Amino acid sequence: MDNGRTIWDPLRKKEVALTPEEQVRQWCIRLLAGQMQVPMHLMMSEVGFRLGGKQFRADILIYDRSAKPLAVVECKRPEVAITQEVLDQAIRYNIVLNVRYMIITNGTRMFICRRQGEGFEFINTLPTYNEMICQQQ
């Protein structure tokens, strides 16, 4: 849906089309930078990568201080339910990204998963950036 409206993406440093998914992404960027205290220079949006010969894009990647991916954030439009299929998408991305955290949101609901051994566990609170860094293995 292109309504001609745009919003400033501070990570891409440009105006982008204001779609429902983009609105969720920009809300999430503000949450990450604010409440979670993620430094803006350690986040990127719309990060492309290849998996099994196909091109994919992660909505937001958070990096640790050595520029290694720390968390992947998958943003969906508000009307999209957060289902097992959406979680599976983030898990597939993790095959390439090898992150410690996965965050999935539609702007209404948010699920945070932290690596636990070979799998992931759901956690109930938003970790700060320093907590995510300190819990790295």
Q: Which CATH number is 24's domain given?
A: 3.90.1570.30
pTM (2 d.p.): 0.89
pLDDT at 53: 86
Average pLDDT, the chain: 91
Q: In this structure, is residue 20 part of a structural domain?
A: yes
Exposure string of 32-52, with b = 16+ CB inside 10 Å and e = fewer, is bbeebebeeebbebebeeeee
Q: Which residues pair with 7 in a beta bridge?
A: 16
Boundaries of domain holding 44: 6-134
Q: In this structure, is residue 92 part of a structural domain?
A: yes
Q: How many domains does the chain have?
A: 1
Q: What is the pLDDT of residues 28-68, one digit of tens each?
A: 999 999 999 999 999 999 988 887 888 888 999 999 999 99
Q: In this structure, is residue 46 part of a structural domain?
A: yes
Q: In this structure, is residue 1 part of a structural domain?
A: no
